Amino acid sequence: EAGVAQSPRYKIIEKRQSVAFWCNPISGHATLYWYQQILGQGPKLLIQFQNNGVVDDSQLPKDRFSAERLKGVDSTLKIQPAKLEDSAVYLCASSRQGSNQPQHFGDGTRLSIL
Partner 1 sequence: DQQVKQNSPSLSVQEGRISILNCDYTNSMFDYFLWYKKYPAEGPTFLISISSIKDKNEDGRFTVFLNKSAKHLSLHIVPSQPGDSAVYFCAASADSGYALNFGKGTSLLVTP
- Report the interface residues with partner 1, using CB under 8 A: 4, 6, 31, 33, 40-45, 48, 55-56, 91, 93, 95, 97-108
Q: Is the dihedral of CA 51, 112, 105, 42 positive or negative?
A: negative
When the beta carbons of 14 and 65 are compared against partner 1, the nearer one is 65
Tell me 80's DSSP state. S
Q: Within the chain, what is the greatest distance between any pair of CA atoms?
A: 42
Residue 93 CA from chain centroid, whole number: 8
When the beta carbons of 24 and 95 are compared against partner 1, the nearer one is 95
When the beta carbons of 37 and 76 are compared against partner 1, the nearer one is 37
Q: How far is the CB of 14 from partner 1 (least distance, A)?
A: 23
